[in-house]
Amino acid sequence: MLENFEKELLKTIADISDLPGAGAFNIRRNGESAGRHSTENIVIEPKKDKPGIDIKVMPFTKHEAVHIPVIVTESGLNDVVYNDFYIGEGAEVRIVAGCGIHNNGDCDSRHDGIHRFHIGKNAKVTYVEKHYGEGEGTGARILNPVTEVFLDEGAECEMEMVQIKGVDSTVRDTKANLAENAKLLITERLMTHGAQTARSDVVINLNGDGSSAQIISRSVARDTSEQIFYPRAVGNSRCRAHVQCDSIIMDSAKIRSIPEIAANHCDAQIVHEAAIGRINNDQLTKLCTLGMTPEDAEQVIIEGFLS
């Protein structure tokens, strides 16, 4: 049975407030399963050699979803989990992950999720991962996700990575390998405040002819927080890629954006853009003339930028 604050964590990171009544899901709480259910087309099995699960989506599965959120509520817990996804040929599935940490103690709480996606020929995956931290304790809330994606011929994957707030330290490591005509879209959105730090390393290898990728990063850094973005697109074939990083910097924060593109094939077409700046004063003035306080106007602009 989940406590009320645990249900609120689930709602924030996975849009569910309790154990689902149906569908495929695995809820991880403080390093252990709090509930698991498979369906005819989506099978979830615990690993035998290390903590984690294998999620197997049968070929040509359509219009199904799987929820695999993690909540950490014990101060001092260091949770590591290994999840492997096997998406069958022609399947279409939505995967909702994410981690919420509630730390009321003086010891650091940490979750490291290592996810590997094996996406079959012509399969389509939508993946949503939200990170959130809360609690009155002085212990840090630390999240270090590792994501590896392997897309077979004609496979498509859309990944939405969101850091809502309250995460004191995060290092995100993402790697992807695209076969012929595979498509990948990665969207990162995050907010840092206080003395928080965030680093995101992304490497996309476009190995197959006709493959394409887009990396979009949007962030806001407040107070004395620091962010580093290092996205890389590597064209090893006749391919297309676009890297875009946009950030709003406030107060005494620091941001480094280091987009990198590399072409190892004469028909690789790769573009990158990066921009860091303050909130537009004209936007603030316009909203204030509509009756908003400067603080409310600032919040509206930030929410619109990160949406």
Contact criterion met (CB below 8 Å) for 105 and 20:
no
- As a whole number, mean pLDDT of residues 10-26 equals 87
**pLDDT on residue 276:** 93
- Strand, helix or coil for residue 281: helix
From the list 205, 208, 158, the residue with the least C-alpha distance to 181 is 208
pLDDT higher than 80, residue 1: no
End-to-end alpha carbon distance in the chain: 33
CB–CB of 133/100 below 8 Å? yes
Q: Which of 9-23, 114-128, 150-164, 194-208 has the lowest mean pLDDT?
A: 9-23
pLDDT on residue 249: 95
Phi and psi angles of residue 198, each rounded to the nearest 5 degrees, phi first:
-145, 130
Q: pTM to 2 decimals?
A: 0.93
For residues 258-265, give the mean pLDDT.
95
Length of the chain: 307
Position 49 confidence tier, pLDDT thresholds 50, 70, 90: very high
3-state secondary structure 30-91: CCEEEEEECCCCEEEEECCCCCEEEEEECCCCCCEEEECCEEECCCCCEEEEEEEEEECCCC
